[in-house]
Structure formats: C-alpha cells, structure tokens
C-alpha cells in the first residue's frame, strides 16, 4: 500500500496521501485528514480560523506514525493546525501538506529566463493566507529528476528524513512549502536514487547561505533585509570600459591581512581596512578570488559548490553586500572570479546529485578533469546551462557586482585540454572544440550584457582561440576582455633572464604587439605566478638585491605603459620574497624596510600616473594609441615607444633592461619644446640609484626614430622612464 512508502521513506507523491484527501464518491463521509508523525502519540486537528477542534486523529492500525481523521460529507476542507503529543513533550504544528497548491506552482521558469532559477528554486521566503491570518513560510524546491524519493531535512524536523517527504512534479522538481520556517533555519535534502539507494545528504545547489565543515548545511536566507546605499548602481552614468583606466588589485579575502590571532578578516573588517588602502594606492577595481562557497580552504575558492552563496568563512551574505556597497561608495569597482569549469566530488555537493550524472558529463573522458581531480559540468544539458547562467546573473543582481572574470576558459573550449590521445572524445566534426561550451559562453555573455549593460566579463583564456572578446553577433564569444597570458609568459621569461642574455630574447618583449589588437586584453600578473614553487615576482629577478628590485621596478613600469588594462596580485606591490600562502597574511612587516616601501610607492605612483594620463589607457585597443620608436635595439636591451590619446597628447616610454646606464641616449619626439620626466623607476623615492637624467629636457631639430625632433637622455640602469612635452603654465 502507498502508506508503507512513508515508513520506508520512499514516498514520491505525499500530496496524494497526506493532508486533506477526498474519499470515494459513494462514501457516507467526504473528507479524510491524514498526517504522518512518526514520533507522535496523539494528534488533534484544530481550525485555523476559529481555533476549535476539528477532531482527534486516530492512529492507523497497520502503519505506525500515520494518524487519520474522517469528517462528515457535508464538511469542507479548511485551514488547520495540529496539536501534537509525544512521549516527552507537546507542540503545535502547521502541517505543510495543506499547502499543496502553493508548492505545486512554485516552479514555472522558462529557458529564456535563467534568473528564474534563483527566484523559484532553493529556499524562497513567502507568505501564506492561513485561516484569518497571514503567516510566514519557506517554499523549498530542488531539481532531481532521476531521484525516486526526496525528503527535506533540517532544523524544522530534527533532521528526520521520514518527517517531510517532498512532492515530485512532472518536470523533475521536488517541492514542499513549510510554514514558520524563517531565515537562518538550516536544511538539506535526503535523496534516494532511482533504485531506492540512499545518497549522502545533499546541500541545496541553489542555497544562498551555507555553513562550513562539518555540516555544510544550507541556510534559509532573506535577500530583502539589506538596505543598499548604492541605490543608483544599475542607473549609474555609463562608462566605456575600453577607453577608461582599469588597474585591478587581485586579492584573496582570507589572506590579504589577518588579525593578531592569524584569523581572516570578516567582510566588514575587509571593507574598513582594504578600501582606504585601495584608494591610497590608486587602483580602480578589486578582483576577488572566488568567494562562492567551497569546502576546501586550499582550493582558494576554485573548487566551488555553492554558486549562489558567498562563503560564510568571512560573514553572512549581508556582510558581503556591505563590502561591495562600501567599495561602490568609494568609487571602487568589484570583480569576482567565477568558476563554471568544474566542481569537486564532495558527497554533499553536485556530483551524482540524484544518483545520476545530473550536473556532470557521464563519460569521464568528458566529465572528469585530470588536472584538478574534479567534475566537469555538462554544457549540453539545458538545466545545467540555465544553472550556470543563473549563477552569473545572481551575483550581478543581488550583490551589485561590476564584473565576472571567468576562470579556466581554455579548459572548457577544448575537449582535449590537458588530455592525451585516446583520453578524449572528438566533437561531431571530429575536432577538439567543445561546441556546447562555446554556445554556453555566447549565451552567458548575451544575458549579462543585455540585462546588466554596465557589467564587464573577462576570460582567462590561455590559447589563441579567436574572437574571445568580440561580440556574439560578429561570431565571437562575447567577453568584454581577455587575459593576455602570452604577454605575461613572454615578458616574465624575458625579465627573469640575466641581463647579459636578454639580447637573445628581445622578441619576448616585443612580440605581444604583433597581436595586441586581436582582443581586448588585460595584462595579468596574477596569483598563478606566485604559487606552486614559482617563487615571488621579486625572486624571479636576476642579480643582487639592488638589481632584483630595479629589474622589477622597470618591469612594472613597462607593464603600465604597454597597451591593455592592468592586473596585479596582492603582495606584488610589497616586493615579497616569499610565495603567497592562503594560510597567512601578506608580509606587511616588509614596509619597515626602504626597499619594500620604495616598491609600494612605485606601484602607487604608477597607478595615479596611469589614471591621470589618458595616453596610457584611452586608446588601449586602437592602433592609433601606440607607436614603436625603437623595438630593435636588442644589443643594448632597450625599448622606446609612445602612447597617444584621442586628442593627440603623447607619453614617451623608454626602458633600459641592463644594469649599464646609457649616456646621450637619443629619443625621437613629435614636437619641439621642453620635455619633462614624469616617472623614473630609478628615483631615490623607489630605492633607485637616482642616476641624473634631468627633470626638463629640450628638444633638438633632427629626424630620429622617424620623428622631426629628438631629445638626449642620460638613461639610468635597469629603469623605465615616462616623459611628456612640458605644458605651458
């Protein structure tokens, strides 16, 4: 009999047997009220409108825990509550199974509106009319189409899988409305696969808030509670990100700075301490390593399982909103790393969620990532596609995020990424492109830019896949920007060489301009360059202590002058000697020493110089914004070029990547007059040698570097100079 399924925790259609049930037409009575309370000894039903008893329910003779009340045929179903007695205590209960309509119609999203997932699934706070009262409730809905039974478990039922079986719908969702469940209540799902086997208790894939180890419980959360101060965020004045300065400070929230007890800062503490620092240093944006909930600290967030929940390691979702809000009030943009490439196998997570490969490709040649020992999302599954795009939109809508940097794009684009022959399955045309992932990226970017036109999307893509940052209607993937991994690898390889050998690798510095306008590039010196035995940036530099610092200073200034937006990982500005560790703070004590204060001051001055000098950013993605003056002086390891803005103003850049000063170095300039040095990485303010260059230089007539005028410099060792024509007072 169907009632036996309740006791076996296998009931998939509790709405057909619990709550008010009609009796047969030929019966002398018309209504049956049935409840299942395994721990109860006595149950009475009372009218929600009058408070008067409807009757005492009788314990079923054959099915312990099942209580029934038969009402006369003339009686109608009405709102009720239950008075329940157990062996040890008594309580009142609003039976969830009288709210079937409210649960049945919970899910009605359509594929063209992926944001409906986070508006309808998970735990949604609602209000119900019950008798003469309005009561608060939570509507739970989870997608598990291949499950045979799903129960809601949590604080509301003492984590008893028998207590609240969920109702299966025709479209694969399981639903239940539970009265008097408020924000903060913990819950999970108890799922049995299609063969009736019990799976590990699953956290809610759509949870807005989650506990840490060991429970990994999901929490009901109220998104309406926080009062934003940046109320005009979606209606702010449009800014063209391509022609605007963008200097990004990449950081990991748990290790930027820690308290005296080595505990990470909370989101609110981070707002209080980080924002003044960012303003002082002159960065325009911060980029957070993933804050989406993840089980393992050592993944830095790159193995997430909660794509709709900011990690509770540092506070609540409201605390994270406060952090973003404070950044916006200070004029700082917030970019989040977002990981749609893969997820870990933890039992409470997405892997084999309903006993099937619901979220991941089934074949390990497609569904298992050998580099990261994690599952790969099935980009051909319509629900998974909606789930991922909904996650992106969720962070923009509910947390006012300014941009998303998509991690590991290359691993998604290619079936053979990091795989040997025979370890991958070609696409329908026999090639290695994952058409499903390509389609997903185009849809993701279309949705983001159509609904949040001032947001930006950034691809971490390390190959030469074409048109990553070109519009979808032109055949591109639709990203706003792409990380320039080629520039990063080539330039770091060059600057790591002993200056004596750099003449043989000069092309490593100049090659990036061959393809500089193929994409909207960001130049990254990210966390990936200072972990896993790679050493810090300072320790990549050759030479003695002074030369290491000088090399790094010259390199940073070269980066800020090169076309493309900028990204630096936290600690780069301190010239740390040690690799970054997520388990401790940056080495802030280094600022007690002149060398490290000098490096920090240089990054500060580079940011502020960059932001106030339009030639350094305005035409980043136009050939008109850059001109080589001399890119062939490999023997002396020097480079010179100019950057230009739309009004024709120019900044001249000269780099000397040897420890030898260059006397009487000639530099072609466009106009006659006086030129001034606006930045010199060899300055004593940066722990440089303060080699005399001259603050004001007069041009001389005579063609040089193809320009009608030239100036004569005394070029310092291991240094980069910025110059411009002196403005009239």
- In tens, the pLDDT along 215-252 reads 999 999 999 989 999 877 777 788 999 999 999 999 99
Is the peptide bond between 46 and the residue preceding it cis, with omega within 30 degrees of 0? no
Q: CA 588, CA 363: separation in Å to the nearest integer?
A: 48
- Residue pair 677/723 in contact (Cβ under 8 Å)? The answer is yes
pLDDT at 624 over 70: yes
Residue 50 tokens, joined: 């009058």
- Estimate to the nearest angstrom the gap between the alpha carbon of 703 and the chain centroid: 51
Q: CA 148, CA 196: separation in Å to the nearest integer?
A: 6
Give the confidence band of 728 by pLDDT, cuts at 50, 70, 90: confident
pLDDT per position as a tens digit, 640-689:
999 999 999 999 999 999 999 999 999 999 999 999 999 999 999 999 99
Tell which CATH classification among 2.60.40.1180, 1.10.3720.10, 1.10.1740.10, 3.40.50.300 matches the domain 622-725. 2.60.40.1180
* CA angle in degrees (0–180, nearest 5) for 645-648-652: 70
pTM of the model: 0.96
- Residue pair 709/726 in contact (Cβ under 8 Å)? The answer is no
Helix residue spans in 456-583 (DSSP H): 485-495, 507-510, 537-540, 545-561
Q: What backbone phi and psi angles, to 5 degrees, belong to 271?
A: -60, -45
- Residues 6+ away with beta carbon under 8 Å from 240: none
pLDDT per position as a tens digit, 428-439:
999 999 999 999
pLDDT per position as a tens digit, 409-464:
999 999 999 999 999 999 999 999 999 999 999 999 999 999 999 999 999 999 99
**Dihedral sign computed on CA atoms, order 588, 593, 599, 605:** positive
Q: Measured between alpha carbons, how far is residue 290 from residues 254, 549, 573 in Å?
A: 11, 31, 21
What are the extents of the domains in the chain?
19-94, 100-219, 622-725
Q: CA 495, CA 502: separation in Å to the nearest integer?
A: 8
pLDDT per position as a tens digit, 306-357:
999 999 999 999 999 999 999 999 999 999 999 999 999 999 999 999 999 9
pLDDT at 549 over 70: yes
* Residue 729, SS3 per DSSP: coil
* Residue 538, SS3 per DSSP: helix
- Estimate to the nearest angstrom the gap between the alpha carbon of 17 and the chain centroid: 44
pLDDT at 110 over 80: no
Looking at residue 112, its pLDDT comes to 75
Closest CA to 506 of 517, 491, 488, 516: 491
Looking at residue 1, its pLDDT comes to 59
How is domain 19-94 classified at the CATH fold level? Immunoglobulin-like (2.60.40)
User: Where on the phi/psi map is residue 159: left (φ > 0), alpha (ψ -120 to 50), or beta?
Assistant: left
> Which of 402, 407, 436, 519 is the catalytic position?
407
Looking at residue 159, its pLDDT comes to 97
Burial class (CB in 10 A: 0-12, 13-18, 19+), 500: exposed
Q: What backbone phi and psi angles, to 5 degrees, belong to 570?
A: -55, 140
Whether 407 is catalytic is yes
Looking at residue 22, its pLDDT comes to 86
Give the confidence band of 26 by pLDDT, cuts at 50, 70, 90: low
Burial class (CB in 10 A: 0-12, 13-18, 19+), 438: middle
Biggest CA–CA distance in the chain, Å, is 113
Q: CA 34, CA 97: separation in Å to the nearest integer?
A: 9
Chain length of the chain: 729
Q: Which helix (H) or strand (E) holds 329?
A: helix 317-329
pLDDT at 27 over 60: no
Task: Please indicate whether the domains covering 100-219 and 622-725 agree at the CATH topology level.
Answer: yes
- Residues 6+ away with beta carbon under 8 Å from 144: 150, 172, 173, 174, 189, 191, 353, 354, 358
* Residue-wise DSSP of 61-123: SSSTTEEEEEEETT-----EEEEEEESS-EEEE--GGG-HHHHHTT----TT-TTHHHHHSEE
- Residue pair 125/136 in contact (Cβ under 8 Å)? The answer is yes
Residue 43 tokens, joined: 């149950």
Burial 707-723 (b: 16+ CB within 10 A, else e): bebbbebebbbbbbbbb
- Residues 6+ away with beta carbon under 8 Å from 625: 563, 615, 618, 619, 643, 644, 645
Residue 601 tokens, joined: 């001051």
Q: Measured between alpha carbons, how far is residue 286 from residues 121, 334, 712 in Å?
A: 31, 5, 40
Residue 595: how many CB atoms within 10 A of its CB? 15
Looking at residue 294, its pLDDT comes to 97
Looking at residue 539, its pLDDT comes to 95
pLDDT per position as a tens digit, 246-263:
999 999 999 999 998 999
pLDDT per position as a tens digit, 570-621:
999 999 999 999 999 999 999 999 999 999 999 999 999 999 999 999 999 9
Looking at residue 233, its pLDDT comes to 79
Looking at residue 349, its pLDDT comes to 98
Q: CA 692, CA 694: separation in Å to the nearest integer?
A: 6
DSSP-derived pairing of the beta strands 122-130 and 66-72: unpaired
- Residues 6+ away with beta carbon under 8 Å from 569: 250, 251, 525, 526, 527, 529, 530, 580
Burial class (CB in 10 A: 0-12, 13-18, 19+), 560: buried
Q: CA 693, CA 507: separation in Å to the nearest integer?
A: 27
Q: What backbone phi and psi angles, to 5 degrees, belong to 300?
A: 60, 15
DSSP-derived pairing of the beta strands 186-192 and 149-154: antiparallel
- Residues 6+ away with beta carbon under 8 Å from 78: 47, 48, 49, 54, 131
Q: CA 109, CA 577: separation in Å to the nearest integer?
A: 52
> Which of 102, 318, 319, 460 is the catalytic position?
460
What is the overall mean pLDDT for the chain?
95
Looking at residue 76, its pLDDT comes to 81
- Return the residue matching tokens 């980043």: 620
pLDDT per position as a tens digit, 157-213:
999 999 999 999 999 999 999 999 999 999 999 999 999 999 999 999 999 999 999
Q: What is the percent of the chain with per-residue pLDDT over 70, rounded to a whole number? A: 98
- Residue pair 456/481 in contact (Cβ under 8 Å)? The answer is yes
* Residue 572, SS3 per DSSP: helix
Q: Measured between alpha carbons, how far is residue 564 from residues 7, 247, 618 in Å?
A: 64, 10, 10
DSSP-derived pairing of the beta strands 247-251 and 565-569: parallel
The class level of CATH for 100-219 reads: mainly beta
Looking at residue 474, its pLDDT comes to 96
Residue 547 tokens, joined: 């030369």
């Amino acid at each position: 009999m169907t009632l036996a399924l309740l006791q076996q925790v296998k009931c998939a259609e509790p709405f057909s047997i619990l709550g008010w049930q009609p009796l047969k037409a030929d019966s002398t009575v018309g209504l049956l009220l049935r409840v299942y309370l395994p721990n109860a000894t006595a149950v009475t039903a009372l009218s929600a409108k009058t408070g008067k008893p409807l009757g005492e329910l009788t314990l079923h003779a054959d099915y312990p825990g099942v209580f029934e009340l038969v009402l006369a045929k003339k009686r109608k179903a009405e709102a009720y509550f239950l008075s329940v007695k157990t062996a040890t205590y008594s309580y009142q209960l609003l039976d969830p199974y009288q709210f079937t309509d409210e649960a049945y119609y919970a899910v009605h999203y359509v594929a063209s509106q992926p944001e409906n997932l986070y508006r309808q699934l998970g735990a949604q706070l609602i209000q119900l009319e019950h008798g003469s009262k309005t009561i608060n409730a939570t509507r739970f809905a989870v997608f598990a189409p291949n499950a045979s039974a799903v129960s809601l478990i949590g604080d509301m039922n003492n984590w008893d899988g028998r207590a609240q079986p969920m109702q299966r719908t025709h479209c694969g969702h399981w639903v239940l409305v539970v009265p008097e469940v408020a924000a903060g209540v913990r819950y999970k799902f108890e799922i049995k696969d299609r063969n009736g086997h019990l799976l590990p208790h699953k956290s809610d894939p759509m949870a807005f808030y989650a506990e840490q180890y060991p429970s990994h419980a999901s929490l009901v959360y109220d998104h309406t509670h926080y009062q934003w101060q940046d109320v005009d965020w979606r209606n702010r004045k449009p800014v063209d990100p391509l022609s605007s300065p963008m200097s990004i400070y990449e950081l990991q929230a748990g290790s930027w700075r820690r308290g005296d007890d080595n505990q990470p800062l909370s989101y609110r503490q981070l707002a209080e301490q980080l924002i003044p620092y960012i303003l002082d240093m002159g960065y325009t944006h911060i980029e957070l390593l993933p804050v989406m909930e993840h089980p393992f600290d050592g993944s830095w967030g790159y193995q997430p399982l909660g794509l709709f929940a900011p990690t509770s390691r540092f506070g609540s979702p409201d605390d994270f909103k406060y952090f973003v809000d404070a950044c916006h009030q200070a004029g700082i943009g917030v970019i989040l790393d977002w990981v749609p490439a893969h997820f870990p196998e933890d039992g409470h997570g997405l892997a084999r969620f309903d006993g099937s490969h619901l979220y991941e490709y089934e074949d390990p040649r497609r569904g298992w990532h050998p580099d990261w020992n994690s599952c790969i999302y099935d980009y051909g599954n319509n629900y998974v596609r909606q789930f991922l795009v909904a996650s992106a939109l969720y962070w923009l809508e509910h947390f006012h995020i300014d941009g998303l940097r998509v991690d590991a794009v290359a691993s998604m684009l290619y079936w053979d990424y990091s795989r040997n022959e025979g370890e991958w399955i070609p696409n329908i045309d026999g090639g290695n492109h994952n058409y499903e992932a390509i389609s997903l990226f185009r849809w993701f970017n279309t949705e983001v830019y159509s609904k949040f036109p001032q947001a930006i999307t950034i691809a971490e893509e390390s190959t030469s896949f074409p048109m990553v940052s070109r519009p979808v209607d032109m055949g591109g993937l639709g990203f706003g920007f792409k990380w320039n991994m080629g520039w990063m690898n080539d330039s770091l390889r060059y600057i790591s060489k002993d200056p004596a050998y750099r003449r043989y690798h000069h092309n490593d510095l100049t090659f990036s301009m061959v393809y500089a306008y193929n994409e909207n590039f960001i130049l990254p010196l990210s966390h990936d360059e200072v972990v896993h035995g790679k050493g810090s940036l300072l320790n990549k530099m050759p030479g003695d202590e002074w030369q290491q610092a000088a090399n790094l200073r010259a390199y940073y200034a070269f980066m800020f002058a090169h076309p493309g937006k900028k990204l630096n990982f936290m600690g780069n500005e301190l010239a740390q000697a040690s690799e970054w560790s997520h388990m401790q703070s940056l080495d802030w004590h280094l600022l007690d020493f002149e060398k490290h204060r000098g490096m920090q001051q240089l990054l500060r001055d580079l940011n502020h110089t960059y932001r106030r000098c339009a030639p350094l950013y305005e035409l980043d993605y136009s050939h008109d914004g850059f001109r080589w003056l001399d890119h062939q002086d490999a023997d002396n390891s020097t480079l010179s070029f100019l950057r230009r803005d739309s009004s024709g103003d120019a900044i001249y850049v000269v780099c000397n990547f040897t420890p030898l000063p260059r006397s009487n170095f000639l530099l072609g300039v466009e106009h006659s007059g006086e030129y001034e040095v606006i930045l010199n990485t060899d300055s004593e303010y940066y722990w440089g040698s303060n080699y005399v260059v001259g603050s004001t230089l007069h041009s001389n007539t005579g063609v040089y570097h193809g320009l009608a005028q030239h100036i004569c410099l005394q070029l310092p060792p291991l240094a980069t100079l910025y110059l411009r024509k002196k403005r009239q007072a």
